[in-house]
Homo-oligomer: A and B are copies of this chain.
């Protein structure tokens, strides 16, 4: 049985213009991998209704889960929620339970927060959506079909994701083992590494050159990180052992696991 698949849509002009550096991809990639729902594609798209609607419809048909970040605040450029309603062909309507929770929260603040038309937009959801409530804000994210709509602000997104996670189901966790070797060039190990990949066709074996200018003793300088990844933990261990042996045969001094952070 193969794992469910996930796609992430990062919605926002600010990432495409370079103003904001996305901080959600790596968090979601890591958490989804741990849950056995590997991320298979990411798209960054602008705040353009036609683009959002078409992209949501394309990827929700292609992947088991679609996660979106960004565009669910109260301002005019926050259009994700109404675009998801349009993508599903359902009305975009005030979600009464969410409205009541927000009204209660706003009234309780000191000074009270005005529940104006802009804030009411955040209680407006595609008809049939299930709200995602998190500890950090009262305005909800939501799940519509297999599309999970979350905030773009990283700490709110993370809080929404953890609230959502128990309902997602799980696949077989993706595990990985890294082997690092200093002073080794990719061009020198490509052939034997390809042979290791051929022995383990069910795994992804990747090669990533690195350079650390000021690492602790034994870890400064250049080298390669060789990473075996897959859902069969025993196979991953066997591949890491094969990579380690291959490096030793070439006269290198491989280190299993991640080197200390620099």
Q: Which residues of A contact B (CB under 8 A)?
A: 10, 13-22, 25-30, 33, 38-47, 51, 73-77, 113-114, 116-119, 121-122, 153, 174, 176, 185-191, 193-194, 197, 204-209, 227, 229
Majority DSSP secondary structure for residues of A touching B = mixed
- Of the candidates B18, B43, B113, B186, the one whose C-beta lies within 8 Å of that of A73 is B186
A14:B209 contact, CB within 8 angstroms: no
Q: Separation in Å of the A200 CB from the closest CB of chain B? A: 12
Closest B residue, CB atoms, query A224 = B75
Contact in complex: A44, B41 (CB < 8 Å): yes
CA distance A58 to B186 in the complex (A): 31
Give the number of copies in the complex. 2
The contact sample of 28 A-B pairs, CB cut-off 8 A, is: A15-B42, A16-B41, A17-B38, A17-B39, A18-B28, A18-B30, A18-B39, A19-B208, A22-B22, A41-B43, A41-B44, A43-B43, A47-B206, A75-B186, A75-B190, A75-B207, A76-B190, A76-B207, A77-B204, A77-B205, A77-B207, A113-B185, A114-B187, A114-B188, A116-B188, A116-B191, A118-B191, A153-B209
A16 with B29, Cβ < 8 A, contacts A74-B186, A75-B186 known:
yes
B16 contacts A26, C-beta separation under 8 Å: no
Please report the C-alpha to C-alpha distance between residue A30 and residue B45 in the assembled complex, in whole angstroms. 16
How many whole Å from A207's CB to the nearest CB in chain B? 4
Q: A22-B25, A197-B76, A205-B77 are in contact. Are A16 and B40 (CB under 8 A)?
A: yes
A197 to B13, CA, bound (A): 15
A58 to nearest B CB, angstroms?
Answer: 10
Question: Nearest chain B CB to A250's CB is how many angstroms away?
Answer: 12
What are the residues of chain B within 8 A of A176 when measuring CB–CB?
17, 19
* A51: B residues at CB distance < 8 A: 41
